[in-house]
Amino acid sequence: MRAYERLLKYVKVHTTSDENSGTLPSTERQFVLAELLANEMREIGIRDAGVDENCYVCGSIPATPGYEKMPRIGFIAHMDTAPDASGENVNPVIWEDYDGTDIMIGNGRVLSPEMFPHLRSLRGRTLITTDGTTLLGADDKAGIAEIMTMAEEVISHDIPHGRIAIAFTPDEEIGHGAEALDLDAFGSDFAYTVDGGAENDLEYENFNAAKAVFHIRGREVHPGSAKDIMINAALVAAEVIAMLPSAETPAHTEGREGFYHVTGISGDVEQAEVVLIIRDHSASVFDARINTVEMIAKVLNEKYGEGTVQLEVKEQYRNMIEKIQPFMHLITNARAAIKETGMTPAEIPVRGGTDGARLSFRGLPCPNLGTGGYAFHGPYEHITAEGMDKAVEVLLGIVKRYADNDLQC
């Protein structure tokens, strides 16, 4: 079975996660796909496949006899879809021999090369899109389909290999996918997440990330006698935003450039709140950004009185590069596997985070590979069957390289 055929089946299962749930998994519906995947894994020959109480699907392919001392390699993808758009009643649409021009995908939406220039390079492929009403779910059900197809190829064609560990995780989209994966049971020396964009993507740098919340307490009195007494919390919130560097936002930055991103502002005279996320690839610049928001809180408390502003900063994840560098064979072998398919590796820093970053800091070095998908998290999401085939070839190439004494590390 080709990977895209599996994708068409998986996206029909509603698996949107819920950041307000407070449970793991955040939604019970993720168990539906988890059980489906575990059953399919057993059908293709992964005998130990199963689902644990936290909705992690794990299984392994034992090493080929004589290859037991080869490195143990893992592959990971996530089952949930982002809450940004509906993931229910997904109706994928297949466009055979796509001609590289505008497509009316439905619901008044046009998938256009003007918006997505890479579409021209997909001419002649089998394009898979949404019907314009939901996201597609290729993030990351494409990664699941590609890992599953790779595993089937390894087993059915007796491709020599060391131990291969596989995990499909819940709740990646809300930042919790790597938290409860039992790494000892997973049993891998290192792994790859398959959760990127274009099929030639190879990602091993990501943002350092934090969330900051300014809690602002005002002082409300009658406006007719408010001079030198009133503290308008809503206006103080506006000051917080005005004190942030205006050019250092997502709309003005790219590549390794970091940013402050205000994600919410609410309140009235008596109390207000400003929520933002802070991102930077450089650890030292990231620390400086944290210092900046701390200084804003300090200055405003000096201006309006201690306790007016309370700042809460929570680190979310760190740049995986510091954990990948001692294991650069992961990059060397993935780079070579991509080249062997006839593609040029696209080694671009991730302007976000992945489960791979969190797993790397838990002790499992874990760069990220592309799936062939584009425009994730919304109704313009799309992928090609051929791109998915290439992604499977890359995974097989990596497996073969780690089974080769001369090439693995």
Query: Structural domains in the chain?
Result: 3-205+319-402 (3.40.630.10), 208-316 (3.30.70.360)
pLDDT of residue 161: 97
Please check the confidence at residue 408 and state whether its pLDDT lies above 90: no
pTM of the prediction? 0.90
pLDDT tens readout for residues 215-239: 999 999 999 999 999 999 999 999 9
Please check the confidence at residue 409 and state whether its pLDDT lies above 90: no
172 is catalytic: yes
Please check the confidence at residue 250 and state whether its pLDDT lies above 90: yes
Catalytic residue (one of 139, 171, 172, 173)? 172
Q: What is the mean pLDDT of residues 57-65?
A: 98
Q: Please report, for residues 103, 375, 383, the alpha-carbon distance to residue 136 in angstroms, rounded to integers and kept in the order given.
A: 16, 10, 9
pLDDT of residue 363: 96
Q: Please report, for residues 7, 175, 352, 370, 395, the alpha-carbon distance to residue 359 in angstroms, rounded to integers and kept in the order given.
A: 25, 12, 15, 18, 19
> What pLDDT band is residue 316 in, cutting at 50, 70 and 90?
confident
> What pLDDT band is residue 175 in, cutting at 50, 70 and 90?
confident
Q: Is the alpha carbon torsion for 319, 322, 327, 329 positive or negative?
A: positive
CA angle 76, 31, 156 (to 5 degrees): 50
248 is catalytic: no
pLDDT of residue 218: 97
CB neighbour list of residue 321: distance below 8 Å, 6 or more residues apart: 204, 205, 206
Please check the confidence at residue 352 and state whether its pLDDT lies above 90: no
Average pLDDT, the chain: 96
Please check the confidence at residue 89 and state whether its pLDDT lies above 80: yes
Residue 210 CA neighbour count, 13 Å, CB half: 21
In Å, the largest CA–CA distance within the chain is 86
pLDDT of residue 354: 83
Beta bridge mates, 363: none
> What pLDDT band is residue 353 in, cutting at 50, 70 and 90?
confident
For residues 34 and 51, the answer to whether their CB atoms sit within 8 Å is: yes
